[in-house]
Amino acid sequence: MTLGKVIGTVWSTRKDESLVGAKFLIVQELDLEYNPKKSTVIAVDSVGAGVGEVVLVAQGSSARQTTLTKNKPVDAVIMAIVDKLDISHKENT
Amino acid sequence: MTLGKVIGTVWSTRKDESLVGAKFLIVQELDLEYNPKKSTVIAVDSVGAGVGEVVLVAQGSSARQTTLTKNKPVDAVIMAIVDKLDISHKENT
Amino acid sequence: MTLGKVIGTVWSTRKDESLVGAKFLIVQELDLEYNPKKSTVIAVDSVGAGVGEVVLVAQGSSARQTTLTKNKPVDAVIMAIVDKLDISHKENT
Amino acid sequence: MTLGKVIGTVWSTRKDESLVGAKFLIVQELDLEYNPKKSTVIAVDSVGAGVGEVVLVAQGSSARQTTLTKNKPVDAVIMAIVDKLDISHKENT
Amino acid sequence: MTLGKVIGTVWSTRKDESLVGAKFLIVQELDLEYNPKKSTVIAVDSVGAGVGEVVLVAQGSSARQTTLTKNKPVDAVIMAIVDKLDISHKENT
């Protein structure tokens, strides 16, 4: 899974009909110190995440393993909201 | 999903027979300010997207979860046309 | 899908038995002006592509959605031969 | 599979209900000399891995092929704890 | 598929129980001139590959399409041993 922060929403009227009602959130990837990384991903929300929250995103076919996304053409889902990271062994690269 | 803009079409006569009639569009990836990125992807259109439109692309097995692409050898599908992005928390990287 | 040009063949005698008879082609990725990129991918041919031809490659599980590759351990397939690209809106990056 | 070292834990209360009880570990990727690389991945633990241990991570749909992760929205799983690497032919790049 | 050379073995006692007996090989990626690239992948061997041999690796769900890897949490498999490459049209990048 990828760590990220919800920074916005994508509005779309014309989309695959299975996606009516789906909420597309823009997630900016974070490093382990919560610093923003360059990459962003657009993910369907399955846990009621709001803008500003730190989340986990699952990608690929795994993104379709929630009740909300099953059999739908989506390749990224927010499946957890992060309370905190507990890092014990970080070494410098 | 990935944000992109439709910039062209791929013409192909000889292709897997399941793909007869499929429309292959060239999508240039965009950043959140709609600036073009270097990468492009060729995706099947499932929502009637036209050249110049901003779209979302789903990749991998998720690209086969539309009526048009089911069980076909395609790894990218346009599954939504973007009306607008609503960005609240963008931080500089 | 990825745009590429067939530049060669991989010869392999010892391989998974489901792959006997499969033709492994070396595909060099191309940009939209048909300039070669650094990356190459080895793909099974499902459309009778020959060396020098410009093709589309589908990757991941989608590579197994042709009659020839069904249920086989291959992660890239040539599923179309490109006649031409029609590019209308290319912007500089 | 990817080689990595477990360096911490992600705490999450609100998550997909199928994930209650799942343990999310932070894995820092390692090179073959066990030097840390920049990239990290968050993976579900299926083998009782602890912080500081060197592990293998399987990603994508393969991450759902353990008893613990079956049909769940997770895209990375720790499926082995590494005893040692045995490298015979490393060439300089 | 990816071209690589087997350069070693991973030893693991504690692993997902479906993986008992599986042989994890370390594969260094090669370019088309057989020069080593930076990236390595750890793959299950399904064709009796030995250290020093040049092989093809299939990744993602396709890695589970051999008798040995079916339904197992592995995301890379060696599915062919390469005899030789036959390159006709290589252009400089």
Subunit contact C77:B76, Cβ cutoff 8 A: no
Cα of E4 to nearest chain D Cα, Å: 12
Report the SS3 class of residue B76. strand
How far apart CA E27 and CA E2 sit, in angstroms, is: 10
Tens digits of pLDDT across chain D (93 residues):
999 999 999 999 999 999 999 999 999 999 999 999 999 999 999 999 999 999 999 999 999 999 999 999 999 999 999 999 999 866 555
CATH 2.40.50.220: does it fit domain B2-81? yes
CB of C38 within 8 Å of any CB in chain B?
A: no
* CB neighbour list of residue A11: distance below 8 Å, 6 or more residues apart: B82, B83, B84, B85, B86
CB of E14 within 8 Å of any CB in chain D?
A: yes
Which tens digit of pLDDT belongs to each residue from D4-26? Answer: 999 999 999 999 999 999 999 99
Subunit contact D62:E75, Cβ cutoff 8 A: yes
Q: How many helices (H) and strands (E) does chain C have?
A: 0, 6
Name the DSSP class of E35.
P
CB of E46 within 8 Å of any CB in chain C?
A: yes
Which tens digit of pLDDT belongs to each residue from B36-76? Answer: 999 999 999 999 999 999 999 999 999 999 999 999 999 99
CB of D58 within 8 Å of any CB in chain E?
A: yes
Cα of B58 to nearest chain C Cα, Å: 12
Domain ranges of chain D: 2-81
Prediction ipTM score: 0.94
Structure tokens at E15: 């692993």
Report the SS3 class of residue C62. helix
How far apart CA A37 and CA A86 sit, in angstroms, is: 20
Which tens digit of pLDDT belongs to each residue from E22-65? Answer: 999 999 999 999 999 999 999 999 999 999 999 999 999 999 99
**For position D53, what pLDDT does the model report?**
97
Which tens digit of pLDDT belongs to each residue from C19-29? Answer: 999 999 999 99
Structure tokens at A10: 């994508």
